[in-house]
Chains A and B, each alone.
Chain A
Amino acid sequence: MNKKISPLQRDTLIEVVNIGASNASTSLSKLLGENVKVSIPELTLNKLEKIPNFIGKPEDTATVVLLKTSGDTPGTMFLLFEPESTLNITGKLTKNKKKDIKILDNEDQSALRELGNILIGSCITSLANFLKINLIQSVPETATDMIGSVTNSILANLGMVTDEILAFKVDMIIKKEKIKAQMFFLFEPKASQKILSTTKSLIDEKNN
């Protein structure tokens, strides 16, 4: 497990995640019928306890839709919405906008889970197709709480297997509806090595 990754590896990883994120944003755009702006993925490779600051302010409230991925590149993926975005997006999906995230009902939760399924599903499918690897996603789960609480639960579980984590952040913004969805990918080092080696062999294959 090397602490630093070379600029080329960095670009490769960002590009690979970008493919997944673009597919996810296309799905989001089709689902809502709106234009979606997607940012370039941000990458960090850091110690477990430094990751929360990368994700957001620990004391802020947010809604998280979480999926676990298994197969060749094990890791965790999740969507994160700030309260306003949560209400806007559930309102748009269920046609019944709530005034407060504390009163989100089963229908809203279900809509969010399905959203997670669609976005992360399309992302995972495109990654698996591009890298020709085997990736399986779990059922989604939602939680609304302080960002710190949610993330440290996720990180603690990754902490059982690794000290360092490779994390990606992608913002998806729908300006008209005031929705900002942040998509996070947390890979175990083993998974990022796998991504790097497969992309390298793909490039070599093409050159020969």
Chain B
Amino acid sequence: MKKIININMADLAVAHENTVLKTTGVGSCVVVTLYDPVKKIGGMAHAMLPSKKLIEKKTFSKSSKKSKKTNTSSKYADEAIEILIEKINNLGGSIKNLKAKLIGGSKMFKILSGDNQGIGFKNTEAARKKLLEKGIQIESEDIGGTVGRSVEFNIKNGLVSVSTKI
């Protein structure tokens, strides 16, 4: 029996065997898939913002005090990758075998980002930086543009399929 796990925004999941991880409506968010081809264990995260550190600088001192108390969250690209690695490790996968794929990071509205590269770019940069830090190779990317994507990740063979509606 094939099991399908639907991942919402700012959420993540890991699985093994006959499972398909799925997420729809990826805009400026970044989806990171990690796969261990030896043990056939994989995980997918749908992160919304680049990094908590980056945001704390911008917000006022009041709110940064608050966020220090909260634990790591899959809302942020860098923290989501750390949680994914940990969870894959718990299932028996090894960080040495992991291969990553990045999807998303598009720029839907010009007025929201102005002349800067926008949040999508920052998200992918944060994910790349974290993966480099952890020594995980990025196999392929489907990044940028002005289009929304849906992602399906088949754990059985490690295939990631990306579809668009427009």
Tell me whether A and B are bound partners. yes
Q: Which residues of A approach B to under 8 Å, CB–CB?
A: 1, 48-49, 52, 58-59, 61, 66-68, 76, 101-102, 138-139, 141, 143-157, 159-163
What 0/1 readout, one digit per residue, does chain B (128-162) give for beta carbons within 8 Å of chain A? Answer: 00000000000000000011111000000000000
Check B111 for interface membership: any CB of A closer than 8 A.
Answer: yes
Is the Cβ of A58 less than 8 Å from the Cβ of B48?
no
Q: Which of A139, A146, A152 contacts B28 (CB 8 A)?
A: A152
**If the complex has contacts A147-B25, A148-B26, A153-B112, are A160 and B8 also in contact, measured as CB distance less than 8 A?**
no
CA distance A66 to B107 in the complex (A): 14
A161 CA / B119 CA spacing, docked (Å): 13
* CB pair B166 A144 closer than 8 Å: yes
Q: Which chain A residues border B33 with CB–CB below 8 Å?
A: none
CB <8 Å contact, B25 and A139: no
- Besides A153-B28, A155-B48, 7 other A-B contacts (C-beta < 8 A): A49-B75, A145-B27, A149-B149, A157-B28, A157-B119, A160-B55, A160-B58
**Residues of chain B within 8 A of A161, CB atoms compared:** 58-59
Q: Give chain B residues whose Cβ lies under 8 Å from the Cβ of A146.
A: 24-25, 27, 148, 150, 165
Q: Is the CB of A149 within 8 A of B63?
A: no
Q: How far is the CA of A66 from the CA of B29 in the complex (A)?
A: 18
Q: Please, how many residues of chain B have a CB less than 8 angstroms from a CB on the other chain?
A: 36
B25 touches A148 (CB 8 A): yes
Question: Is B8's CB under 8 angstroms from A149's CB?
Answer: no
Q: Which residues of A contact B26 (CB under 8 A)?
A: 148-149, 152
Task: Report the bound CA distance from A148 to B150 in whole Å.
Answer: 10
B59 closest partner in A (C-beta): A161
User: Could you say which of A61, A138, A139, A151 contacts B166, with CB atoms under 8 Å apart?
Assistant: A61
Q: Enumerate B51-99 residues with CB–CB distance to A below 8 Å.
A: 55, 58-59, 63, 67, 75
Chain B's closest residue to A101 (CB) is: B166
Residues of B within 8 A of A (CB): 8-11, 24-29, 48-49, 55, 58-59, 63, 67, 75, 106-113, 119-120, 123, 146-150, 165-166
Q: Is the CB of B111 within 8 A of A68?
A: yes
- Chain A to chain B contacts (Cβ below 8 Å), 6 pairs: A146-B165, A149-B148, A152-B27, A153-B108, A153-B120, A160-B55
> Chain B nearest CB: distance from A75 CB in Å?
12
Give bound CA distance, A205 to B11, whole Å.
47
B24 adjacent to A145 (CB under 8 Å): no
Closest to A61 in B: B165
Within the complex, which residue of B55, B67, B106 is in contact with A149, where a contact is CB–CB below 8 Å? Answer: B106
A145 touches B165 (CB 8 A): yes
Whether B119 pairs with A156 at a CB distance below 8 angstroms is yes
- Are B165 and A141 in contact (CB-based, < 8 A)? no
Identify the closest chain B residue to A59 (Cβ). B24
Q: Name the CB-closest residue of A to B24.
A: A59
A59 touches B150 (CB 8 A): yes
Contact between chains at B108 and A150 (CB < 8 Å): yes
B9 cross-chain contacts in A, Cβ below 8 A: 49, 52, 58, 148, 152
The CA-CA distance from A138 to B113 in the complex, in Å, is: 13
A144–B150 alpha-carbon span in the complex (Å): 15
